[in-house]
């Protein structure tokens, strides 16, 4: 995120209202721009299906099948990206940049292979048992691999400090997907569902080409040690588990409710819970602003204080170190509570507005009931994760691992209990897990900051 921070610091030097607004817009477009565009695309797909009178069963099948692809992609990239991010940081620090493009290709190969296995099995079962059109299945298989590759590559863009290029790549790729859909639908005689899946596959292929191009042209050379980063799974096992448990925790309540709840629906091979899944989607949207607030605060204020502190620890006397430490600690406390408070206000306001306007959009019943609590649950999840990121800064593998493991474990237990109690309790499960993980992460951060000089200095020596 250093590239975003550099640009934001330049923008926020302008103390006028225009400068502040410009900074917020830049932060929004470079952090959640791709997510917003993709969510708009999903809503657009639903609108197109209605316009072209796609049968409701086909719409549900497409949505359910796509949901599984996204979850596979997120889990696979989550298992890879935490370790690859640490490896990239270390290689940049010791000035061995040639490892970064090689690691990217290694990550792409592993991610593609990991995605290909479940996608292939799903396609075989859908063809053999449910007689799904193989033309659709080929596009579905390719789309699953393309989106996994996209999620894996995005980590490497941070190495070249060009987050804005992610947004530009998504814009061009998704715009191309829209154009491909209309061309295919008009001139190739394919069904609407087939046109959508192939346009998405080709659109994400284009996004991947752009992102890979940015990386390989930025670095002057690359070696062929594609899998050198795998050693870090042995060196930093708790870091890997921390990222894995966080990603699993995001989806585990949905997965449990798909298979064991009274709101589950089976669509061919896919188990889903439409009302809960839609409420989850809306809850994420309501809390997206947290990412922008976090980026602005951390990149414009904390990162500079952190860098000055580490430099002082390396070169300065005790008085200078203590001054830098106090400045950094104060910045952490102020910024964390600012994020907690402002996002809570935003979440509450948007939730109240949603109660008024969602029924006008046809969103009500169980979906609205779930959303009211899930909005707060995802606020707590994001707050927990931002706190865990500070633990990453201070190389606290154990603390970050325990925090996300608690989040995952408590969410699993709470979800199973909620099934026994009834659907009115379903949304409490992720909220409970997030609060437990968040409290632990916050207390752990306070503990680490008490003796931060020793923790950081020992980490540097290692």
Q: What is the pLDDT of residue 20?
A: 44
pLDDT tens by residue, 279-313: 998 898 888 877 777 776 676 678 778 888 878 87
Which residues lie below 8 Å from residue 96, measured CB to CB, with a gap of 6+?
none
Q: What is the pLDDT of residue 159?
A: 61
Exposed/middle/buried for residue 186 (C-beta within 10 Å: 0-12, 13-18, 19+): exposed
Exposed/middle/buried for residue 387 (C-beta within 10 Å: 0-12, 13-18, 19+): buried
Q: What is the pLDDT of residue 33?
A: 52
| Residues paired with 265 in a beta bridge | 272
pLDDT tens by residue, 103-122: 999 999 999 999 999 999 99
pLDDT tens by residue, 127-151: 999 999 999 999 999 999 999 999 8
pLDDT tens by residue, 416-462: 999 999 999 999 999 999 999 999 999 999 999 988 877 766 655 44
Q: Check residues 374 and 94 and name the one with the higher pLDDT.
A: 374
Q: What is the pLDDT of residue 147?
A: 92
CB 399 within 8 A of CB 459: no
pLDDT tens by residue, 229-253: 999 999 999 999 999 999 999 999 9
Exposed/middle/buried for residue 318 (C-beta within 10 Å: 0-12, 13-18, 19+): exposed
CB atoms within 10 A of CB 187: 8
Answer whether residue 388 shows pLDDT above 90. Answer: yes
In angstroms, the CA 33 to CA 166 distance is 9
| Residues paired with 229 in a beta bridge | none
DSSP 413: H
The structural domains of the chain, with segments of one domain joined by +, span 32-233, 236-462
H-assigned helices in 188-287: 192-218, 231-235, 237-260, 274-286
Residues 138-154: b if buried by 16+ CB within 10 A, e if exposed: ebbbbbbbbbbbbbbbb
| Residues paired with 419 in a beta bridge | none
| Residues paired with 272 in a beta bridge | 265
H-assigned helices in 359-451: 365-393, 397-421, 428-450
């Amino acid at each position: 995120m250093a590239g975003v921070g550099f640009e934001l610091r330049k923008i926020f030097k302008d103390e006028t209202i225009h400068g502040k607004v410009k900074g917020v817009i830049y932060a929004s477009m470079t952090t959640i721009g791709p997510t917003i565009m993709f969510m708009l695309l999903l809503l657009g797909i639903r609108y197109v299906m209605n316009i072209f009178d796609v049968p409701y069963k086909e719409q549900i099948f497409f949505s359910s099948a796509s949901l599984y692809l996204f979850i596979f992609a997120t889990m696979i990239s989550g298992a890879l990206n935490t370790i690859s991010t640490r490896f990239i940081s270390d290689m940049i620090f010791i000035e061995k940049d040639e490892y970064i493009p090689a690691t990217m290709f290694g990550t792409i190969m592993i991610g593609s292979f990991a995605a290909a296995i479940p996608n292939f099995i799903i396609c075989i079962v859908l063809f053999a048992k449910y007689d799904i059109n193989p033309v659709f299945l080929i596009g579905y298989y390719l789309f699953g691999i393309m989106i996994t590759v996209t999620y894996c590559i995005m980590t490497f863009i941070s190495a070249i400090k060009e987050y804005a290029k992610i947004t530009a790549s998504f814009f061009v790729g998704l715009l191309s997907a829209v154009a491909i859909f209309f061309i295919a639908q008009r001139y190739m005689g394919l069904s609407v569902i087939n046109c959508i899946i192939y346009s998405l596959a080709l659109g994400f292929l284009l996004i991947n080409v752009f992102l890979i191009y940015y990386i390989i042209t930025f670095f002057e050379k690359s070696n062929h040690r594609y899998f050198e980063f795998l050693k870090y799974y042995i060196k930093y096992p708790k870091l890997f588990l921390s990222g894995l448990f966080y990603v699993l925790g995001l989806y585990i309540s949905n997965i449990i409710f798909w298979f064991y709840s009274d709101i589950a629906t089976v669509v061919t091979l896919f188990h889903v819970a439409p009302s809960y899944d839609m409420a989850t989607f809306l809850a994420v949207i309501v809390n997206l602003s947290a990412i922008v607030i976090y980026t602005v605060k951390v990149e414009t204020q904390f990162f500079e204080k952190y860098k000055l502190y580490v430099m002082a620890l390396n070169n300065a006397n005790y008085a200078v170190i203590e001054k830098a430490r106090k400045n950094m600690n104060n910045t952490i406390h102020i910024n964390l509570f600012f994020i907690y408070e402002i996002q809570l206000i935003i979440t509450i306001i948007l939730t109240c507005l949603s109660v008024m306007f969602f029924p006008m959009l046809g969103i009500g019943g169980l979906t609205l009931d779930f959303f009211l609590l899930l909005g707060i649950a995802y606020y707590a999840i994001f707050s927990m994760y931002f706190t865990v990121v500070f633990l990453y800064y201070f190389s606290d593998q154990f603390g970050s691992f325990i925090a996300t493991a608690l989040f995952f474990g408590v969410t699993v237990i709470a979800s199973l209990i909620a099934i026994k109690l009834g659907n009115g309790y379903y949304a409490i499960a992720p909220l409970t897990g997030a609060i437990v993980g968040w409290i632990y992460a916050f207390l752990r951060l306070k503990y680490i900051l008490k003796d931060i000089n020793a923790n950081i200095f020992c980490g540097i020596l290692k």
